[in-house]
Chains A and B, each alone.
Chain A
Amino acid sequence: GAVVSQHPSRVICKSGTSVKIECRSLDFQATTMFWYRQFPKQSLMLMATSNEGSKATYEQGVEKDKFLINHASLTLSTLTVTSAHPEDSSFYICSAGSGGGDTQYFGPGTRLTVL
Chain B
Amino acid sequence: EAGVAQSPRYKIIEKRQSVAFWCNPISGHATLYWYQQILGQGPKLLIQFQNNGVVDDSQLPKDRFSAERLKGVDSTLKIQPAKLEDSAVYLCASSPDSSFSYNEQFFGPGTRLTVL
The answer on A and B forming one complex is: no
Interface residues of B (CB under 8 A from A): none
Interface residues of A (CB under 8 A from B): none
